[in-house]
Amino acid sequence: MSGSRPSWILVLIHGSAALLAAVSLLGTLWNGLEERPVALAFGLLITVGELTRWTGAQVREPAPLAAAGALAYALLGEDAGHPTHHGVFQVVTIVLTATLLGGVPHIARGRSPEPDQPARRVLIVGFAAVCFQPLYNRGVFDEWSGAAYALLIVALLTLTALCDAVLAAALAHARTDWPFGPLLRDELRGLLGIGSAVCATGAVMALAVAVVGLWALPVFCVPLLLTQLSFRRYAAVRATYRQTIASLARATEVAGYTPAGHARRVAALSVAVGRDLGLSGAELTVLEYAALMHDIGQLSLVDPVPAGATADLPAAEQRRIALLGGAVVRQTGVDGSVAVVVERQADPCREQPLAARIVRAVNAYEEKAQGAGPGGPLKALEELRLGTAGEYAPEVVEALARVLSRDCLTLGRVG
């Protein structure tokens, strides 16, 4: 973490969640539980959702069933036609208790969730409950029925989802210091996937329980569980796909054309630069794959380039190797947009797409900085800056400098 601002964001969010949880717990202990069967049913549902939490990868919502159940309880007005009287404090207490209980087995296996996830859960559930429960208990919604009441629930869930996206982006910004705008854009795009399924299931649960009672919970949680299973399989395919690309990228290292770990380092640094420049999630994926495979054209060379350093080769030779690499990528069946970036990484700077500009600059930095001693990174960065007149994109070089500075590399005075 590079500055004081992100740390204050974390303190503010975590502190607010802790304060809300403490006040809710004390309020529930003081007032007692209302509608205990309802509280127990929703608590059990959230616990089961946490037990089925996906711990295999970083995803936007690893426990969608628990999130949907928590939102449904926050927006629950009736149970089989009978008004409920649980308030905000009880909602937050039940959700927090069930979340912690469901996380115990994961913690025992050494897979404890990040503190950001329960903090988000407490805050968004508290927000939804504050928007609905006090007004409902005062009878404000007594005249709302049918489609109007359903639209009210959907509107509140939509507002809650938007607030959750802002909160998730703020936490990611605080953790990584990446630009807030692109992070928020990715979170909003994520709402169209698993986020919409969570909101839809939460709305259906709240409306169904109001009509038929608690029997609706096991019925309407099945579709979300199936969706979660399908998403896991899809993510497993994506992971296998990425591992295949990484294995292809290592072919140049195994053959002795490039130094060990070169492709991996270029890919990691390229993604960081892409994030700094505001690329979306899909664009970052293409950038990462292209960076991993940017040197694969060297496999077509009879004589390896010394140390795999193509940045100092004549422009015509660089373009020939890039075109050979693009041809290899197309034959592997990888997305054509990845092949385009690989092919155009040696084109004139002004004619390149942004991803190709990033790969070109990062690859040159990596080649110039490796083995150049303590002053290598600074010297390499200065050489890139001298080449911004036509060889490297100025905005990419400055983004690279910002990324390296945030990563606490020894760069001397940058800028």
Q: What are the pLDDT digits (tens) for 314-355? A: 778 888 888 888 888 888 777 788 888 888 888 888 888 899
Same domain assignment for residues 267 and 200: no
pLDDT of residue 409: 44
The tokens describing 58, both together, are: 């970083």
- Domain membership flag for residue 348: yes
* Whether residue 45 is found in the same domain as residue 152: yes
CA nearest neighbour of 129 among 92, 164, 102: 92
Q: If we measure between CA atoms, which residue out of 362, 338, 343, 259 comes closest to residue 304?
A: 259
In the predicted model, is pLDDT for residue 136 greater than 80?
yes
For the chain, how many structural domains are there in total?
2
> Is pLDDT above 60 for 208?
yes
Measured distance CA(305)–CA(302) in Å, rounded = 9
Q: Same domain for 64 and 181?
A: yes
Residue that wins the pLDDT comparison between 307 and 274 = 274
Between 33 and 331, name the one with better pLDDT.
Answer: 33
pLDDT at 262 over 90: no
pTM beyond 0.85, yes or no: no
One domain for residues 267 and 343: yes
Mean pLDDT over 198-211 rounds to 89
Give residue 247's pLDDT band: very low, low, confident or very high (50, 70, 90).
Answer: confident
Distance CA 266, CA 244 (A): 17
Average pLDDT over residues 8-29: 93
Which pair of tokens denotes residue 176?
């990584």
Poorest-confidence range of 89-103, 125-139, 178-192?
178-192
Tell me: do 343 and 368 sit in the same domain. yes
Nearest to 171 by CA among 184, 160, 158: 184
Residues 6+ apart with CB under 8 A from 116: 13, 14, 171, 175
| 260 shares a domain with 228 | no
Instruction: Judge whether 311 lies within some domain.
Output: yes
**Residue where a domain stops, chosen among 205, 237, 269:** 237
Per the structure, the complete domain to which residue 396 belongs is given by 250-406
Looking at the fold, whether 332 and 295 belong to one and the same domain comes out as yes
Q: How far apart are the first and last CA of the chain?
A: 20
Please give the share of the chain, as a percent, with pLDDT higher than 70.
90
CATH of the domain at 311: 1.10.3210.10
10 Å CB burial of residue 415 (0-12, 13-18, 19+) is: exposed
Residue 94's pLDDT band, with cuts at 50, 70 and 90, is: very high
78 C-beta neighbours (distance < 10 Å), count = 16
| Residue where a domain stops, chosen among 237, 260, 278 | 237
